[in-house]
Structure 1
Amino acid sequence: MSALHNRYTAEGHDARYPLILSQRTTAPERDSPLLFQEFCLGLANDQSRIVLRRYFEQYGPADSQWVEYVHSIPTADLIHWIMTHGKLHIECSENTPQLSSPATARA
């Protein structure tokens, strides 16, 4: 779809190499406009902010409309929130099964 808005790229809004969380294209009826939606998560170029981008486009032969919502949060704030509210799982060398070496496997 070459008619997509030019900010629909990895470079849009300082988000480098975004992770595509969801992407959907639908054509409700034969002669109705094509609907495109994409949700991406990325980092700002300076890595100071995490950027969530929601892009919507309605594309038809005669007309195209799009809207993009960009949400961002300082990276440090999100990391702090995850550490405060996220589920913690701890692994250490004492919990990890030891890999057998070739000499041990022959014995």
Structure 2
Amino acid sequence: MVFELLQQQVSRDTEAPLHCREITLSFSPDCRQVVLSRYSEHYGPALVRWIERSHTVSVSELFRWLVANGETAVRCHEEPARHAV
């Protein structure tokens, strides 16, 4: 499976536990869906906790939404036709 790591963050305050976060974007195995996953880990003196959330949308629905709601840009180009000699 191909995925793109969108964000990876590790933070720690002096009094807070270690917090690791990762956001990835991937395709489902059949490439019909796009999956946005958010993974988070918390490391503390008493426990380790992790959670993963995934949001899935079909590629065709994503394109329909993009055409209906996305910003439209139109580019045109013209040049005179060349005549054979």
Normalising by the smaller structure, the TM-score range is 0.7 to 0.9
Cα distance in 2 for residues equivalent to 1:63 and 1:94 = 66
Shift of 1:62: 5.9
1:20 aligns with 2:36: no
The alignment yields a C-alpha RMSD, in angstroms, of 2.1
Cα distance in 2 for residues equivalent to 1:35 and 1:92 = 49
After superposition, the C-alpha distances for 1:38-79 in whole angstroms (9 at most, x for unaligned) are: 111111111111101010001247632100001101110001
Cα distance in 1 for residues equivalent to 2:28 and 2:76 = 32
More helix by share: 1
In the alignment, which residue of structure 2 is the partner of 1:38?
22
- SS across alignment from 1:46: coil
1:52 aligns with 2:48: no
- TM-score for the superposition, normalised by structure 2: 0.77
How much identity, in percent, do the aligned residues show? 30
How many residue pairs were aligned? 79
- TM-score for the superposition, normalised by structure 1: 0.63
